[in-house]
Amino acid sequence: MNRGWAGPAWGEPSTASESPVPLRTTASAGDACYRADGGWSPEFVVMAASVAGVAHRLAGRGGEDAYAWAQAGPGRLAVAVADGVSTAGRGGEGADVAVRAACAYLLAGESDNGGEKECEAAVRAAGEEVARLGGLVAAELSTTLVVALLSASAGRAEVSLARVGDSSAFVLDGTQWRELFPDPDDEDFRGLPVEVLPWREGAGPGVIEVSSVAMAAGSALVLLTDGVADPLREGPATVAPALAEVLQLVPTGDLSPLDLANAADFSRRGCLDDRTIVAAWPVGGAPPGQPQ
């Protein structure tokens, strides 16, 4: 059994994870350090977990990531993940506003454009809502955001995505990970500022990145904040296969949201950031243990 509250060690363990978690001065369900949820529909299974990073827990703070989903119509699922900017002051609040606003936009079906354009419009709507609520101090709510819209049929799915910032999305096919956006640490992007919502001065909707992919039956769409995406890229022989093994248990009904939260709280040296994982599978059938 690991000391402290950390989950499995993937790679060299973090010594910070061995310490008991300090009691925060104040805490409530809304800013819990551990969140987990999920469920089944005729077309999809979704599993989500978010845990505050060791750095925040040792400082007596909650996490600043957020996630949301919405069943945006028959065979349509909207999923969003955001990572509040810690130095902004109220980044966690901005992250929560952004994911809720993006999914609300897609749920309302306010756009006549499909695919990437619809996701891009959802990101714009989220940015406008963050700016509206923040007013003159909207920069204090700065957050990244990645939005995905899945359209499923017969266990397969067409996926459209849009993002601002360095949260990312992957397709997991068996044990193989395929990232759907450029790695922010790639040579072409290194040194450039990470864009966030609300738009910084001189930036605008043109900084939204878009992507799309066709998912085969059995594959998963996985949205990650950089607290998981960075170790996944850096640990192709540790984090990547270990997380793939965990997620493979979801469609069979052998993994609960709490199990995923425990996995998200993995111990790895140097990885102290908040971590959020939202995964969706097009399934086209009843949950395990129920009649088809």
Structural domains of the chain in order of their starting residue, each with its CATH number: 33-282 (3.60.40.10)
Distances (CA, A) of 32 to 51, 79, 179, 257: 8, 21, 29, 15
Give dist(CA 222, CA 47) in Å, integer: 10
Lowest-confidence region among 22-31, 142-151, 210-219, 268-277: 22-31
Distances (CA, A) of 236 to 149, 185, 229: 27, 16, 11
Are 139 and 91 a contacting pair, CB within 8 Å?
Answer: no
Average model confidence (pLDDT) for the chain? 89
Confidence check: pLDDT of 1 > 50: no
For the residues 71-99, what does the mean pLDDT come to?
93
Are 4 and 17 a contacting pair, CB within 8 Å?
Answer: yes
For residue 73, the model assigns a pLDDT of 87
CB atoms within 10 A of CB 213: 17
Distances (CA, A) of 135 to 130, 131, 196, 198: 8, 6, 16, 10
pLDDT (tens digit per residue) in 184-231: 666 655 556 678 999 776 555 558 999 999 999 899 999 999 999 999
Residue 46, SS3 per DSSP? strand
Going through the chain in order, the beta strands assigned E by DSSP cover 34-40, 44-51, 65-73, 76-83, 145-153, 156-164, 168-173, 176-179, 209-215, 220-224, 275-282
Q: Among residues 113, 91, 137, which one has the least CA distance to residue 125?
A: 113
Q: How many CA atoms lie within 13 A of 183 on its CB side?
A: 11
pLDDT (tens digit per residue) in 108-136: 986 656 789 999 999 999 999 999 999 99
Distances (CA, A) of 173 to 38, 108, 209, 245: 20, 31, 23, 11
pLDDT (tens digit per residue) in 89-98: 899 999 999 9
CB atoms within 10 A of CB 62: 20
* Comparison of pLDDT for 6 and 236, the residue scoring more: 236
Give dist(CA 166, CA 153) in Å, integer: 30
Tokens found for residue 83: 């990572």
CA geometry: angle 164, 56, 222, nearest 5 deg? 40
For residue 164, the model assigns a pLDDT of 95
What is the β-pairing status of strands 156-164 and 209-215? antiparallel
Are 88 and 157 a contacting pair, CB within 8 Å?
Answer: no
Are 69 and 77 a contacting pair, CB within 8 Å?
Answer: yes
Residue 243, SS3 per DSSP? helix
Q: What is the pTM of this model?
A: 0.92
Q: How confident is the model at residue 156 (pLDDT cuts 50, 70, 90)?
A: confident
